[in-house]
Structure 1
Amino acid sequence: MFSRLSRMSYMLFSLVLAILLAVFVDGQSGTDTSKLSESSSTDTSLIHLNTQKTITLKASLQVTGVDTNKYLISGLPDTVEIEIKGPAAIVVAAENTHNFQVIANLKGLSDGEHKVNLEVKGLNKDLTYTLKTKAVNLSIYQKSSAYFKVTPQYNTDAIAEGYEAGDITTSVSEVTVSGRTTAVNQVAQVVATLDLSRNTKADVSKSVPLQAVDANGNPVDVTLSEASTTLTLPVQAGVGTKSAAVKFVTSNGDAANFTITANVNTVTLTGNMDKLAKVSQISVPVNLKNITAKTTQKVTLSVPDGVNKLSPTSITVTITPKEAE
């Protein structure tokens, strides 16, 4: 009895020992796998960090060392090309953020022409660079400004005959002219020119550019505080003249039986052009009563509404019966 119990205890102990051993081995295997994964990830990161990359960017050129309120700089490009090399991750960061500057340092330079070497600041120390343009030629001028009234103008010969233009107005009445002192001193006026179509008969409103010109009307290279203005020119009908044909209006007889002529075929009308536009002909009354032979009549012309006067004021009409011809 004791021998059987001892055997059973031994078997139970062996089973527990086997289970504990299996758990221990499995834990060790998981730990080794985790360590292998971490090692692989670290190696990949190191490989990625050590990958080299080269890019070419366009960077804005910045000016330092000069008061741009007092001096005008010309000849500088807006951007310069820069080639950047280094670890891929850092290069990409520089490309995305542009966290560096390309600088033209003008400190200590005076009026005149200069050649200035360009500098790069703020670039990560692990990166190298090459500027495609290593130096720039530029000019420094003393800057000044002046105020000018805008002078509006237009081609007066484009106004249609018999029409009148009113006072032209401009939406911008005054501008600031700035630039090189010598150039600003050459400016005589700032003009805005309205180019009208031929035979203009109606109001015109149009945006036009402003331009600084010298005493001879030649453009001057300066900067204006406003680039354009809107010019408005009222145009209305004035007093003009117009020719109109005469039209015979007969009474007391059949006009088909007579030949009717006059000493003039047209008359000249003077008056408001809008009114004259509505008049196409002048009626001439002719009385055919009791006319059996060639007859002349002096007819006084009626002045149409809106017409100031006619020339001539009367015409001579000749009436000839066709059977007498």
Structure 2
Amino acid sequence: MNKKNNDIFKNIWFIRIVSLFVSILLFSYVYSENYGLTTTNRNDSISTLRSETISNLPIEVNMNTDQYFISGLPETVMLNLSGPESVIVQTLSANDFKITTEDLDLLGPGNHTIKLQVENLSDELTYQITPSRINVQIEEKVSFESAVEVLFDSSAVADDYVAKEPILSREKVVVSGPSSTIERIDRIYVRVPADETIIKTINEKTVVQVEDSNRNKLNVVVEPQEINVEIPVEPYKKEIPIRLTQVGTPVAGLTYQMSVVGNDEITATGNKKLLAEVDEVLLEIDVSKVNSSKIITKKIKPLDIEGATIAPEQVEIEITVEKEKPE
């Protein structure tokens, strides 16, 4: 019997079959271990908890803004989310949640402490809003229409130029806000800056400013918030009258009447400070040897001002000659 058993162990096919069986057992064990590890990792990934903080989230006001005005709300808040990682990843990717107030129409005017909440958020997540409660003031909303004043430093315009009346894209704006603030309004204006000497037309969009008597900016809504302001800037011109004076020796027995044909003024262009000192242009008409009525052309002497021009440079003078009436 022992000899027979020894023969079996010495049989090469028996050894091969046993080796194959052992190899299969080892492969099964290793595969099972690897497969079990992978399954554990996937389950761990699904069940992993995660926390995420999101900053600068705007607040959606749940209120009839046509009737009420709210003050005290911050522009943005911070939100901390906690829960399964996969749910947080999906939530951040969809980005369809929002921060809202409670229904403020139910509160009405007055000072209130309100609670913020998150809408469109999975029930599997918990959240914390910072700040979560806010002190606000709700007031009746008042609206009115107002003209807009233009503040502009005209002294910044070069001496050879002049600024004309401003042209606004909107002459009036609608101002809305709480009644207590509306009562404090002292002026509504736009300011046109002048950082350098101005020699050409200004055309720019400017924010409408609302201030009280102490020049504090007020928390109101202006529609439109910006308006376009155009300030035409042109070369300075001044109309100067022409004065005629008779010179020379008149013909005996004759009298003379003189007048400018057409416009009796010239247009002078130049430095407004220097032109301010010029009140008239004097033309001397020599009547020597003039014995009958006529029209003459008289050249106007240029102004003694550097850079100044005049138009026209000459005019026609009508001279009417009459006989003297005996006394």
Q: Considering the TM-score relative to the shorter chain, is it more than 0.5?
A: yes
- 2:234 corresponds in structure 1 to 235
Structure 1 gap segments, 5+ residues each: 1-24, 242-269, 278-301, 309-325
Q: Deviations over 1:112-142 (max 9, x none)?
A: 2211233344433333333342311111122
2:48 paired with 1:51: yes
Q: Distance in 2 between matches of 1:239 and 1:136?
A: 63
Contact preservation (8 Å) 1:114, 1:137: yes
Relative to structure 1, is the Cα distance of residues 26 and 99 closer, same or farther in structure 2, using a 3 angstrom cutoff?
Answer: farther
- 1:267 corresponds in structure 2 to none
Cα-Cα RMSD: 4.3
Match of 2:173 among 149, 172, 175: 175
Relative to structure 1, is the Cα distance of residues 196 and 44 closer, same or farther in structure 2, using a 3 angstrom cutoff?
Answer: closer
Match of 1:147 among 145, 148, 157: 145
Structure 2 gap segments, 5+ residues each: 1-21, 241-266, 275-299, 304-308, 312-327
Q: Distance in 1 between matches of 2:72 and 2:52?
A: 27
3-state SS of the aligned residue for 2:131? coil
Match of 1:66 among 53, 56, 63: 63
Q: Distance in 1 between matches of 2:75 and 2:215?
A: 31
- 2:73 corresponds in structure 1 to 76
Relative to structure 1, is the Cα distance of residues 40 and 185 closer, same or farther in structure 2, using a 3 angstrom cutoff?
Answer: same
Structure 1 residue 105, shift from structure 2 partner:
0.7
Structure 1: which amino acid aligns with 2:109? D
Contact preservation (8 Å) 1:116, 1:136: yes
Q: How many residues in Structure 1 have an aligned counterpart in Structure 2?
A: 243
Structure 1: which amino acid aligns with 2:66? N
Aligned-pair identity (%): 21
Q: Distance in 2 between matches of 1:99 and 1:204?
A: 45
| Structure-2-length-normalised TM-score | 0.56
Q: Deviations over 1:198-223 (max 9, x none)?
A: 76444333333322345787654322
Q: Distance in 2 between matches of 1:201 and 1:82?
A: 53
Q: Distance in 2 between matches of 1:89 and 1:66?
A: 34
Contact preservation (8 Å) 2:156, 2:196: yes
